[in-house]
Amino acid sequence: MKILVSALEHSANVHLKSLKNELDNDVEFMGIFNKELGKPIVDLQTLAIMGFVDAFKKLNYFFKLNSQMVEMAKDADKVLLIDSSAFNLPLAKKIKKRYPNKEIIYYIIPQAWAWKPKRIPILSKTITHLASILPFEKDYYPKDAPITYVGHPLLDQIKEFKTKLNDEVKNLVFMPGSRKGEIKKLMPIYRELQKKLNLNSVVVIPKHFSQKDVDELYGDISGFEIKHNAHRCLLEADFAFICSGTATLESAIIATPFILSYIAKPLDYFIASRLVKLEYIGLSNIMFSKFQHRSMHPEFIQDKVTLNNLVNAFESYNTSRFLDDSKLLREYLKHGSSKNVAKIIES
């Protein structure tokens, strides 16, 4: 079976790897994905962008790539789209128009409930199978929509959880993101914070960064130990400071107390603040508020990301409640998603 895959993000490829382990050996991937999973048509590192402004600069390239994928769909038995709605939703529409009977599976579907509710009817008509990883998401769709909660992919990767926390925080982990713009904005504050708290500190740096990248983006990190494995670092740390993203949900599932902080480009933040009407930006907070009606962890955005705010939140943190909340969140998510998505693909 040939599957046309569109997985542009690093996290999407981590989940795609778990999914491939659940599929039969005769399944062949074609399209956009990490080269360790087959023979993609593009090097994913060339697609690494951040925000609306950067994406706009690469529009022509993405239009050509989109057209190439539509052509490839002709030879595919099925289509698998993972996350990245800005690229994958227009791709799905084109494939549906040209090949009306082609089965399209969307895994980690667009968060239309947060951004554009008007997309929900479009998704329902365009996609054959909507594989949701958020338990509450199906409530926003019509009852006859082809949407199923398949579980959460992080529960396929994370198998170790903390059952108790140390009384005293001794080890910190700092995760300023994987995109260069995120790192440049957060690291000056994280360096100040590390000096202020004066505890054993690890900074997680993507493996593919060169020494030149590290010097340019992170500055003087002599006060940190450099590591690359996010899951392992979160398990070993007593507390974490994390840029908004998947890592915040990883920390919440593992049960490592953390504080979210995020600084976007002013124009990106202006656009996003008008498109998204959410009380929180952290995935764990968004989900937790759906069934517990409160936040799970502190989060600071834009000019709220200050040394004083982060120190005060750290010193007043209720770690005991966070540990209990982590267990509640895992129960809410139930299980991993790879096996269920594999069943959809192979059915």
Query: pLDDT, tens digit, for every residue of 20-43?
Result: 999 998 999 999 999 899 999 987
Is residue 341 in some structural domain? no
Same domain, 188 and 328: yes
pLDDT at 181: 87
- Is 136 inside any structural domain? yes
- Determine, yes or no, domain membership for 339: no
pLDDT of amino acid 55: 58
- Do residue 138 and residue 106 come from a single domain? yes
What is d(CA 128, CA 146) in angstroms, rounded to the nearest whole number?
7
Same domain, 274 and 325: yes
4 DSSP β-pair partners: 30, 79
- Look up the domain containing 22 and give its range: 2-149
CA-wise closest residue to 87 among 70, 102, 73:
70
pLDDT tens digit string along 83-115? 989 899 999 999 999 999 999 999 999 888 777
Q: Which of residues 280 and 267 earns the better pLDDT score?
A: 280
Task: Tell me the CATH number at 126.
Answer: 3.40.50.11930
Tally the domains of the chain. Answer: 2
pLDDT at 111: 84
Enter the DSSP assignment of 7. Answer: -
Q: How far apart are CA 24 and CA 95, in angstroms?
A: 25
Let me know whether 93 and 43 are in one domain.
yes
- Whether residues 181 and 91 fall in one domain: no
In a domain, 160, yes or no: no
Residue 197 clears pLDDT 50, i.e. is over it: yes
93 lies in the same domain as 204: no
CB 41 within 8 A of CB 64: no
- Do residues 131 and 189 share a domain? no
| 131 and 183 inside one domain | no
According to DSSP, the residues that pair with 106 across neighbouring strands are: 81, 130
**Mean pLDDT value across the chain:** 91
Both tokens assigned to 73: 């769909």
Whether residue 340 lies inside any domain: the answer is no
Who has greater pLDDT, 178 or 174? 174
Please say whether the beta carbons of 318 and 239 come within 8 A: no
Task: Tell whether the model's pLDDT for residue 213 goes beyond 60.
Answer: yes
pLDDT at residue number 10: 83
Whether residue 101 lies inside any domain: the answer is yes
In the chain, pLDDT over 90 holds for what percent of residues?
79
Main-chain dihedrals φ then ψ at residue 299, nearest 5 degrees: -140, 140
Domain annotation covers residue 166: no
- pLDDT tens-digit series, residues 103-161: 999 999 988 877 777 889 999 999 999 999 999 999 999 999 999 999 999 999 999 99
The whole-number pLDDT of residue 52 equals: 46
- Same-domain check for residues 124 and 186: no
Helix axes 246-254, 283-292, angle to 10 degrees: 60
Flag whether 222 is in a domain.
yes
- 303-306 LR contacts (CB < 8 Å, sep 24+): 305/186, 305/189, 305/261, 305/262, 305/263, 306/189
